[in-house]
């Protein structure tokens, strides 16, 4: 079966500074993967490289599609709502997504909006930070594609709503699709994770099955992740 993601020898520099180097990563279909690392470790950059919005060196393929244009058709990235004016209604944003993405399903979005209690008659400026994040989640998951990248999707959402969304993630993910979640709430997302990828020292430092961590080290995902960072922090 085709891998959802393959990265080989990927390196990215900003100016003279190396942000990521020699990244090798393969993700199988159907997984929920936690992308973990401290602030500035390079998690967002890694996602932007996958989508093609950041340009690096090395080989990247999403569902065996390697060109930037093809990759964008097979990955849904939780980008923030830049470029939309505050006075635009949410239903206009939804219509824009329908036009741009052929795999965007209006009925699927309507179900997500109902679940997340999003009123699409509201204007963007009327939304709180948490509601904007719920909108981004709904727009991202309304596409039916091979790879979903959720970059810190829950930071402004209240605790009860956050847990409700996390517990429901599995039902919104197509069976053979892979979902990568970058998040600081490691203890909350840990129960739904099949694997974790830890970004440290400017590369993929560890890639482990969640069950293997529990069986081999007799600790949870969060404790294992924290143990890898006991010897200092990354800086952006």
**Rounded Cα–Cα distance for residues 119 and 127 (Å):** 10
The fold of 1-67+177-186+194-231 is Rossmann fold (3.40.50)
230 pLDDT more than 80: no
Q: Dump pLDDT digits (tens) for 115-168.
A: 999 999 999 999 999 999 999 999 999 999 999 999 999 988 999 999 999 999
Q: For position 78, what pLDDT does the model report?
A: 93
**Residue 53: which of 81, 79, 29 has the closest Cα?**
79
Mean pLDDT score, 14-37:
96
* pLDDT score at 231: 56
Question: What 3-state DSSP class applies to 205?
Answer: strand
pLDDT for residue 232 is more than 70: no
Task: Give the tokens for residue 88.
Answer: 């635009």
Mean pLDDT (the chain) is: 93
């Amino acid at each position: 079966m085709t891998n959802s993601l393959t990265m080989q020898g990927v390196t990215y520099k900003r100016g003279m500074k190396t942000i990521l180097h020699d990244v090798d990563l393969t993700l199988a279909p159907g997984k929920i993967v936690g992308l973990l690392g401290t602030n500035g470790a390079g998690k967002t950059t890694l996602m932007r490289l996958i989508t093609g919005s950041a340009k690096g060196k090395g080989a990247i393929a999403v569902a065996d599609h390697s060109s930037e244009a093809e990759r964008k058709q097979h990955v849904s990235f939780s980008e923030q709502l830049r470029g939309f004016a505050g006075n635009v209604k949410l239903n206009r944003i939804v219509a824009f997504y329908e036009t741009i993405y052929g795999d965007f399903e209006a009925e699927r979005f309507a179900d997500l909006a109902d679940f997340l209690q999003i009123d699409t008659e509201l204007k963007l400026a009327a939304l709180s930070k948490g509601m904007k994040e719920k909108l981004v989640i709904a727009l991202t998951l309304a596409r039916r594609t091979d790879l979903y990248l959720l970059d810190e999707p829950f930071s402004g959402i209240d605790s009860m709503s956050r847990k409700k969304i996390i517990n429901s993630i599995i039902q919104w993910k197509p069976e053979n699709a892979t979902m990568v979640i970058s998040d600081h709430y490691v203890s909350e997302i840990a129960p739904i994770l099949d694997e974790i990828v830890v970004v440290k020292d400017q590369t993929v430092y560890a890639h482990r099955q969640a069950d293997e961590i529990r069986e081999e080290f007799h600790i949870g995902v969060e404790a294992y992740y924290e143990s890898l960072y006991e010897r200092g922090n990354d800086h952006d």
